[in-house]
Amino acid sequence: MRRAAVAVIGGGVMGASVAYHLAARGQRDVLILDRAQGPGLGSTGRATGGFRAQYGTAINVRLSLLARARLQAFRDETGVDPGYVQAGYLWLAVSESERRALDAGRRVQHEAGLHEAVAVTPEDIGRLNPAIELRDVVGGAFCPSDGFIRPLQILEGYLAAAARLGVRTEWEATVTGFRQAEDGRIHEVETSAGPVSVDAAVNAAGPWAAAVADLAGAPIPVTPLRRQIVPTVPCDLLPPRMPMTIWAGDGFHLRVRDGRVLLLWPTPGQPGRPFDVTVDPAWIEAVTAMAHARVPQLRSVAIDHSAAWAGLYEMSPDKHAMLGASPQCPNLYCINGSSGHGVMHSPALGQLLAEIICDGSATTLDVRCLQPDRFERGALLPVSEVL
């Protein structure tokens, strides 16, 4: 039978990061198992590549600050450029309550060490992004060290660096079950390519993580949520370093990537079809109308319907990651539920989970508030509708 000390289920950015960090800490015999034909076919390949530390809870700010330090060293560490560009995130408020929510978030950010996040007036906003229609805007928030990253380059960097340290990766290997002892501990992972005897397993299955956890009788509340994106045709109307610009009230946002403007607006997803990633033509009409009203210059650029795409966020009930051992299965580790922030937080979460697996607890950051059993304990983190 094949053998691995740690089997990492899922070779997206989370699985690649934790596998790399395990190997970098000296863990031998790490095996990534992924049912896809190759890298980047899960959510990681569909992400737009935003990076921010402007969050509403201290833990998310701290995860971003740790991730940011790791991204700044990423090329030296892995040999691949993570594409981190500090173009900033600009949040816009069109009501006093939205502005108050951004102000409350900023207090948390400053306390957690993100000192460069500032309040901005409509005049500041006009300077930071002159394309915005300012008529309804009452204020906002800006952080210059937020910006952009390249999800597939981060995935490639971690996979390549992990491979150099001896991590093996098997594609087209679907995990179909576990063999467990009476106390729930896993000793064998069953896959479409045959069983693997293991000492521990990591659930890094992104939006499909709940199904993997169910196979071990250790349910976790991760649910998929469709996110849609539509680009304009190639154009140079808006500058490539325009900050990510987000309307705090409804989450409509836009950025420039690879010579196109990407339009995004979160919606609830498909009732009854949670894994459906088709793009709704009515959504494209609605988001285009929002863009025309809020960024008048975009009225002169065509939308490229054929280039629209959708993917799945991996939602947790409090929109924060779950990190650590499963309560029902002590050698099945979760790195799940990042709720749409997984690429940016992957350098931090992978490092922290490797510390938990190798040392019993994370030392770089106190992440006990992310323990997967917090939902059963009623210890949910506060959810901000804005940040």
Closest approach, Cβ 245 to ligand FAD, in A, equals 14
Query: Per rule CB under 6 A, is residue 10 in the interface with ligand FAD?
Result: yes
Give the per-residue contact string, 165-194, with ligand FAD (x = CB under 6 A; - = no). Answer: ---------xx-------------------
Closest approach, Cβ 121 to ligand FAD, in A, equals 27
Query: Per rule CB under 6 A, is residue 344 in the interface with ligand FAD?
Result: yes
Q: What is the 3-state secondary structure (H, E, C) of the chain?
A: CEEEEEEEECCCHHHHHHHHHHHHCCCCCEEEECCCCCCCCCHHHHCCCEECCCCCCHHHHHHHHHHHHHHHCHHHHHCCCCCCECCCEEEEECCHHHHHHHHHHHHHHHHCCCCCCEEECHHHHHHHCCCCCCCCCCEEEEECCCEECCHHHHHHHHHHHHHHCCCEEECCCCEEEEEECCCCCEEEEEECCCCEEEEEEEECCHHHHHHHHHHCCCCCCCEEEEEEEEEECCCCCCCCCCCEEEECCCCCEEEEECCEEEEECCCCCCCCCCCCCCCCHHHHHHHHHHHHHHCHHHHHCCECHHHCEEEEEEECCCCCCEEEEECCEEEEEEEECCCCCHHHHHHHHHHHHHHHHHHCCCCCCCCHHHCCCHHHHCCCCCCCCCC
Query: Per rule CB under 6 A, is residue 14 in the interface with ligand FAD?
Result: yes
Query: Per rule CB under 6 A, is residue 112 in the interface with ligand FAD?
Result: no
Among 7, 20, 49, 248, binds ligand FAD (CB under 6 A): 49
Query: Per rule CB under 6 A, is residue 347 in the interface with ligand FAD?
Result: no
Among 5, 36, 104, 369, binds ligand FAD (CB under 6 A): 36
Nearer to ligand FAD, 13 or 30 (CB): 13
Give the per-residue contact string, 189-228, with ligand FAD (x = CB under 6 A; - = no). Answer: ---------------xxxxx---x--------------x-
Closest approach, Cβ 104 to ligand FAD, in A, equals 23
Nearer to ligand FAD, 121 or 174 (CB): 174
From 116-124, 230-238, 283-291, 311-319, span contacting ligand FAD (CB under 6 A):
311-319
Query: Per rule CB under 6 A, is residue 12 in the interface with ligand FAD?
Result: yes
Which residues contribute to the site for ligand FAD (CB under 6 A)?
A: 9-15, 33-36, 41-44, 46-50, 174-175, 204-208, 212, 227, 229, 311-314, 338, 340-344
